[in-house]
């Protein structure tokens, strides 16, 4: 008989889950309930000390004090044999995806419970529990030294992530990813901040076709965030309507990247995304953190950096390719941006 702990901040929800299902029939026994992650950890500790350990947690993902993602991460480090089933109201299942990647064996939609056969749901979960135990699947290893990082710097990075400039600007995105990974924070801390932000992005720009795959550490997690961001650009590029200002800004970003070798004027790009020049300029800076012309200069320099390293093209040819007819002006812009001339940049990157 598998021992079950129900973890949900809603007392009525906990009682409903316990009473609606024929636990004993499917080889399970509810041994307790907890209103948040911290209380659940206390229960787990006691159960293991008393040598009557909990086998399965049914976990709500959105709870005060400690949410379900954080609970899973901490439990996985302390009690790797414990299994998880996710409880959620979310229809887009962003949190669910994170939980499944971290090793949850299944999820239950609370809305589905109102109309579905609860015993059928429990039967399916019981089979997965049995199969998982028999196969002795190992959970991904927990992050080492979960508290060994600069909390102040992480708070600063969280503020930067929440500005959402990273959706539109590659440099900001790469910088935030690298800084966050360099902190060696526990994966659940990154997920706790970024997964809600990806939901906000979808609400404002459009739904992304998501591929469900397990991530084991921060590198894997940021690979998923990178693919999500790419999917967001794809969604925006395919959107035919221009009523959403953030879609318009993203379309302008895409347009700029695709036309670096041409002359670009703000009014022309604004017209392309069906906005007035002034309204476009104000909102482009609002969502990207920089003026459109500044963004174009940045992208041209980034393109030049790649060409300088990956090709043997003359500096004058590279300047022409990225939209600068005057090579001396290009060198001046490049030097202002990078602190070195194109030739110096090439030498610094091992190109003679």
Find out whether 17 and 87 touch, Cβ atoms under 8 Å: yes
Q: How far apart are CA 259 and CA 251, in angstroms?
A: 12
**pLDDT value of residue 97:** 66
213 φ/ψ sector (left φ>0, alpha ψ -120 to 50, else beta): beta
Q: Which of 22, 49, 52 is nearest to 32 (CA)?
A: 52
Write the CB contacts of 281 (distance below 8 Å, at least 6 apart in sequence).
266, 270, 291, 292
Q: Which CATH architecture has domain 2-135?
A: 3-Layer(aba) Sandwich (3.40)
Which residues, including other chains, have CB under 8 Å from residue 131's CB and lie 6 or more apart? Answer: none
Sheet strand arrangement including 56-60: 28-34, 2-7, 56-60, 83-88, 106-109
Q: What would the two tokens of residue 327 be?
A: 């090579």
> Model pTM?
0.64
Q: Which residues contact 310 (CB under 8 A, 6 or more apart)?
A: none
Residue pLDDT tens, the chain, 352 long: 889 999 998 888 888 888 878 888 888 889 999 999 899 999 998 988 888 888 899 998 888 888 888 888 888 778 878 888 888 765 545 666 666 666 677 777 776 665 556 777 788 888 888 776 655 434 444 444 445 567 889 899 999 999 999 999 999 999 999 999 998 888 777 887 888 788 889 888 988 876 555 567 888 889 989 999 999 999 999 988 778 999 999 999 999 999 999 999 999 999 999 999 999 999 999 999 999 999 999 999 999 999 999 999 999 999 999 999 999 999 999 999 999 999 999 988 866 5
Domain 245-348 has CATH 1.10.150.450: no
Cα–Cα distance, 44 to 312 (Å, whole number): 62
Q: Among candidates 101, 107, 90, which has minimal Cα distance to 202?
A: 90
Domain ranges of the chain: 2-135, 151-238, 245-348
* Cα(89)–Cα(249) distance, integer angstroms: 31
Structure tokens, 236: 């925006």
98: tokens are 């994170």
pLDDT value of residue 140? 46
**Amino acid 313: pLDDT:** 93
Nearest to 60 by CA among 102, 94, 9: 9
Which pLDDT score, from 0 to 100, does residue 274 have?
A: 93
288 neighbors 276 (Cβ within 8 angstroms): no
Q: So what's the pLDDT on residue 115?
A: 53
First to last CA, the chain: 70
């Amino acid at each position: 008989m598998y021992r079950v702990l129900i973890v949900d901040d809603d007392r009525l929800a906990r009682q409903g889950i316990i009473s609606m299902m024929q636990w004993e029939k499917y080889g399970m026994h509810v041994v307790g309930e907890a209103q948040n992650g911290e209380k659940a950890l206390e229960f787990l500790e006691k159960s293991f000390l008393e040598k009557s350990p909990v086998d399965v947690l049914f976990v709500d993902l959105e709870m005060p004090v400690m949410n379900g993602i954080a609970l899973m991460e901490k439990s996985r480090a302390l009690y790797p044999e414990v299994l998880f089933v996710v409880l959620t109201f979310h229809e887009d299942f962003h949190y669910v995806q994170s939980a499944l990647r971290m090793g949850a064996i299944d999820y239950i939609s609370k809305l589905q419970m109102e109309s579905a056969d609860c015993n059928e749901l429990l039967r399916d979960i019981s089979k997965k529990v049995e199969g998982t135990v028999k196969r002795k699947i190992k959970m991904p290893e927990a992050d080492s030294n979960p508290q060994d990082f600069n909390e102040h710097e992480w708070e600063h990075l969280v503020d930067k992530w929440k500005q959402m400039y990273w959706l539109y600007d590659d440099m900001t995105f790469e910088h935030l990813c690298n800084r966050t990974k360099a902190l060696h924070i526990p994966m659940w801390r990154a997920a706790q901040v970024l997964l809600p932000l990806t939901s906000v992005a979808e609400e404002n720009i459009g739904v992304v076709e998501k591929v469900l795959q397990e991530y084991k550490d921060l590198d894997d997690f940021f690979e998923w965030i990178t693919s999500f961001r790419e999917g967001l650009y794809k969604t925006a590029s395919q959107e035919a309507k221009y009523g959403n200002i953030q879609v318009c800004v993203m379309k302008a970003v895409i347009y700029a990247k695709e036309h670096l070798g041409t002359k670009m004027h703000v009014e022309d790009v604004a017209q392309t995304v069906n906005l007035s020049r002034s309204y476009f300029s104000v909102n482009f800076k609002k969502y990207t953190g920089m003026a459109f012309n500044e963004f174009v200069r940045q992208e041209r320099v980034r393109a030049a950096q790649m060409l300088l390293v990956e090709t043997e093209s003359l500096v004058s040819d590279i300047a022409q390719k990225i939209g600068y007819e005057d090579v001396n002006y290009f060198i001046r812009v490049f030097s202002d941006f990078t602190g070195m001339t194109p030739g110096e940049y090439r030498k610094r990157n091992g190109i003679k």
